[in-house]
Amino acid sequence: MTRFALIAASHQPAILADNLARSPDVTSGALPLQVIRDAPSAAIAYNRGLAQTGAEIVIFAHHDVFLPKGWLALLEARLAALPPDWAVMGAFGIGRDGAHLGPVWSSSLGQIVGRVPLAPAPVQSLDELLIVLDTRAGLRFDAALPGWHMYGTDIVQTALAAGRGAYAGALPCIHNDQSHTALGADFDAAYRFIRAKWASCLPIRTPITKISRSGLHLLRDRWHRRRAAPVLEAMAVGIHHDPAHLAALCGWADLGPSAEG
Ligand SMILES: [Mn+2]
């Protein structure tokens, strides 16, 4: 059985080619990349990918993510440190205490985001930029979740409901994302879906907002985002930048096994 597979949903070949497909573990052939095109939602795309792979560990990543040199070896070390209950892990997540866990470089924010946990940290949600799934846990994405938002939150809650663990942290990578767009109607639809589905688990904090019965945080965070947008757009590093260069700037040119103490 193959140990690892990398799955991406993408309909923009240039972004994929400039970022995820350029990751050294992908170009070396160590991490086979499977691209899902023309799926109606992220959950459906990822389930299609799961159905096509025989890998034990599947990494789902955005097409605008770059995995620095040595990333796969680092992932293997991180997985070995996880408690045996783990089913899901991510590069960026929200801890049970609400802490942002990383670190991840965000081009749209122009900074490294997330606290660096010294041990795998349990999460209530994961950012969708990078999700690692142990396929032996048998979890699937919810095909009823519409669009391209909140599937990181949903898969975490699905794991927890199944009595499995979800963790984040200490998997540095580059998210070469464009400046933040407004939270649109598609985001609202995902929010309402998660709020109804996980009603007994609320509130749930996600990297973008807090899902609560009242929904007030959605209104508040939409307003904050709209207000911050011009500032972020002005300083956005943008996807045209070389992700390997960004990795080097972050000190992540080579994550190598020697990074392990
Ligand atoms: Mn992205």
- Residue-wise pLDDT for 216-258, tens only, equals 888 888 888 888 887 777 766 555 689 999 999 999 999 986 5
Quote the ligand 1 centre to 106 CA distance (angstroms): 9
Q: Which residue has the higher pLDDT, 174 or 2?
A: 174
- Residue-wise pLDDT for 78-92, tens only, equals 999 999 999 999 999
Q: Which residue has the higher pLDDT, 8 or 179?
A: 8
- Residue-wise pLDDT for 18-48, tens only, equals 999 999 999 999 999 999 999 999 999 999 9
**Whether the Cβ atoms of residue 80 and residue 27 lie closer than 8 Å to each other:** no
Specify the pLDDT at position 257. Answer: 67
Domain ranges (residues) in the chain = 4-259
What's the rounded Cα separation, in Å, for the pair 214 and 216? 5
Specify the pLDDT at position 236. Answer: 63
Count Cβ atoms within 10 A of the Cβ of residue 183 and give its class: 0-12 exposed, 13-18 middle, 19 or more buried: buried
Quote the ligand 1 centre to 181 CA distance (angstroms): 12
Of 82-86, 107-111, 114-118, least confident by mean pLDDT is: 107-111
Quote the ligand 1 centre to 63 CA distance (angstroms): 7
- Residue-wise pLDDT for 119-172, tens only, equals 989 999 999 999 999 999 999 999 999 999 999 999 999 999 999 999 998 999
Q: Which residue has the higher pLDDT, 261 or 137?
A: 137
Cβ neighbors of 151 (< 8 A, separation 6 or more) are 42, 43, 46, 128, 131, 141, 142, 145
Quote the ligand 1 centre to 128 CA distance (angstroms): 8
Specify the pLDDT at position 228. Answer: 83
Quote the ligand 1 centre to 14 CA distance (angstroms): 14
146, β-bridge pairs: none
Percent of the chain with pLDDT over 70: 94
Count Cβ atoms within 10 A of the Cβ of residue 1 and give its class: 0-12 exposed, 13-18 middle, 19 or more buried: exposed
What's the rounded Cα separation, in Å, for the pair 224 and 160? 30
**Whether the Cβ atoms of residue 80 and residue 28 lie closer than 8 Å to each other:** no
CATH T-level fold of 4-259: Spore Coat Polysaccharide Biosynthesis Protein SpsA; Chain A (3.90.550)
Quote the ligand 1 centre to 45 CA distance (angstroms): 15
Protein residues placing their CB within 5 Å of the ion ligand 1: 62, 64, 177
Q: What does the pLDDT average to over 106-116?
A: 93
